[in-house]
């Protein structure tokens, strides 16, 4: 099985770290191919960044369309470009936020999201509403940790996340924590051991769900709104993507 892992930002170090975390949980025989856009921000920390991240996902999905990947994981908690990638790619396309919400809801009656910048909480809130988890997600908590700081996550950063998670669990009366950034993928096991509750990393959850869906032979339907994009003229740097 071949899974495409798309990091919507352009940090090569983060792409490598996310890929390493994905390979740790992947089944034997699953190949993880990690890529990132050729343009866009080094990290996604707001709506403007998110728009370019989505365009970068669309770019990479289009380039990968003929390579026969069994499934694709979009490794950013904003799930940018998921719908666009579903139009272009045949196999299942999973965003890490959607996968994490599903996993947490299967484990606990209520979960809290602990994320990076507080300003991105509204993006997570909208995803909770889109995916229908309003009754299960009891709170979304920012830590104001810059995304790129996760590339070298030292003990102080882990302590900050642990403290934020403890406050969230108490304030929300929840029983599980969802990590609100793909860059936190390598920290889930440590935080779970410290907190004593399920800590869900969306990258790991998405990889396992993607493997399961692909193994079942399930693909994205092409008869409705996820039908392949219509051919039309495109202009500028994106001129080659209209065919």
- DSSP letter, residue 231: P
Query: Is residue 11 predicted with pLDDT exceeding 70?
Result: yes
Mean pLDDT of 8-37: 97
Query: Is residue 47 predicted with pLDDT exceeding 80?
Result: yes
Reported as type and span, the H/E element at residue 15 is helix 12-25
> Is the CATH number 3.40.50.12500 carried by domain 97-201?
yes
Q: How confident is the model at residue 243 (pLDDT cuts 50, 70, 90)?
A: low
Tens of pLDDT, residue by residue over 124-170, are: 999 999 999 999 999 999 999 999 999 888 899 999 999 999 999 99
Tens of pLDDT, residue by residue over 101-129, are: 999 999 999 999 999 999 999 999 999 99
pLDDT of residue 239: 84
- DSSP letter, residue 230: P
Beta 111-115 vs 137-142: how paired, if at all?
Answer: parallel
Fold observed for domain 2-95+204-238 = Rossmann fold (3.40.50)
Mean pLDDT of 5-34: 97
pLDDT of residue 157: 95
72 phi/psi in degrees, rounded to 5: -135, 140
pLDDT of residue 23: 97
Output the pTM of the full model: 0.95
- CATH 3.40.50.12500 location in the chain: 2-95+204-238, 97-201
Beta 93-95 vs 111-115: how paired, if at all?
Answer: unpaired
User: Which are the contacts of 160, defined by CB distance < 8 A and separation ≥ 6?
Assistant: 143, 145
pLDDT of residue 120: 94
Q: How confident is the model at residue 237 (pLDDT cuts 50, 70, 90)?
A: confident
Q: How confident is the model at residue 18 (pLDDT cuts 50, 70, 90)?
A: very high
Q: Tokens 């170090």 correspond to what residue?
A: 13
């Amino acid at each position: 099985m071949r899974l495409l892992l798309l990091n919507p930002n352009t940090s090569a170090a983060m792409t490598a770290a996310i890929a390493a975390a994905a390979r740790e949980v992947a089944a034997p025989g699953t190949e993880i191919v990690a890529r990132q856009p050729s343009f866009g921000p080094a990290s996604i920390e707001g709506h403007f960044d998110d728009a370019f991240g989505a365009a970068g996902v669309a770019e990479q999905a289009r380039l990968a369309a003929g390579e026969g990947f069994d499934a694709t994981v979009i490794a950013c908690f904003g799930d940018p470009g998921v719908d666009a990638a579903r139009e272009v790619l045949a196999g299942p396309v999973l965003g890490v936020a959607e996968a994490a919400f599903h996993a947490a809801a299967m484990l606990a009656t209520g979960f809290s999201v602990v994320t990076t910048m507080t300003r991105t909480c509204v993006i997570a809130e909208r995803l909770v509403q889109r995916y229908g988890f309003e009754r299960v997600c009891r709170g979304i908590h920012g830590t104001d940790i810059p995304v790129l700081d996760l590339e070298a996550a030292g003990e102080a950063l882990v302590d900050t996340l642990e403290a934020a998670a403890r406050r969230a669990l108490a304030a929300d009366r929840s029983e599980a924590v969802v990590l609100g950034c793909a860059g936190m993928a390598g920290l889930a096991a440590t935080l779970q051991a410290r907190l004593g509750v399920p800590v869900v990393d969306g990258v790991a959850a998405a990889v396992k769900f993607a493997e399961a869906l692909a193994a079942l032979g399930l693909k994205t339907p092409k008869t409705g709104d996820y039908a392949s994009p219509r051919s039309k003229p495109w202009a500028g740097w994106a001129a080659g993507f209209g065919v």
